[in-house]
C-alpha cells in the first residue's frame, strides 16, 4: 500500500499584512518544521501573488496593457537575489547562493533548448 503524499504549508516568519506586502530588497524568512519527516530535493515550491508598481509613483499599479520585460530563461526566479539555507539544530549554515538570477540564467542557457522555456 502506497503512503499518501502529505504537503506542509508555511507562511513567512516576517509576514507582511499590508496593501503593498513585501517590497524590493525585502528579506523573507521561512522556517520549515516537519518533525519525523524528510525533506526531499526539489520539493519546495513558493506560491505568491505578484503586483507590479510603476516607477512614476509608489501607488501606481502597472496595468495589463503595460509592457513588462524580463529574461525568459530566468522567469520568476528573477524575483529572488540570494538564498541562504541553515539548519540550526545540526549543521548550521548549509549553503549560500548569491546572484541567484544569474546562476539560473547560466544553468538554463547551458542545459535547456529555446523550445523548453515556459513549457
Q: For 43-64, how does the pLDDT look when each residue is reduced to its tens digit (9 = 90+)?
A: 888 888 877 777 766 667 777 6
Q: Tell whether 96 is covered by a domain.
A: yes
Q: C-alpha cell of 32?
A: 520549515
Q: What is the DSSP letter of 45?
A: -
User: Is this prediction's pTM over 0.85?
Assistant: no
Average pLDDT in the 68-90 region?
82
22 neighbors 16 (Cβ within 8 angstroms):
yes
Q: Which domain holds residue 80?
A: 75-116
Confidence of residue 30 (pLDDT cuts 50, 70, 90): confident
Q: Tell whether 82 is covered by a domain.
A: yes
Q: Tell whether 32 is covered by a domain.
A: no
Beta strands in the chain (DSSP E): 83-87, 92-97
Q: Tell whether 90 is covered by a domain.
A: yes
Q: Tell whether 87 is covered by a domain.
A: yes
Q: Tell whether 31 is covered by a domain.
A: no
Q: What is the DSSP letter of 55?
A: S
Number of domains comprising the chain = 1
Amino acid at each position: 500500500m502506497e503512503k499518501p503524499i502529505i504537503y506542509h504549508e508555511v507562511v513567512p516568519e516576517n509576514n507582511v499584512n499590508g496593501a503593498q506586502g513585501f517590497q524590493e530588497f525585502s528579506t523573507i524568512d521561512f522556517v520549515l518544521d516537519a518533525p519525523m519527516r524528510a525533506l526531499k530535493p526539489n520539493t519546495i515550491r513558493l506560491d505568491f501573488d505578484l503586483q507590479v508598481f510603476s516607477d512614476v509613483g509608489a501607488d501606481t499599479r502597472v496595468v495589463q496593457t503595460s509592457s513588462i520585460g524580463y529574461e525568459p530563461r530566468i522567469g520568476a526566479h528573477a524575483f529572488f537575489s540570494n538564498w541562504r539555507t541553515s539548519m540550526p539544530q545540526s549543521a548550521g549554515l548549509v549553503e549560500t547562493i548569491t546572484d541567484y538570477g544569474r546562476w539560473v540564467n547560466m544553468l538554463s542557457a547551458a542545459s535547456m533548448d529555446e523550445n523548453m522555456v515556459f513549457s
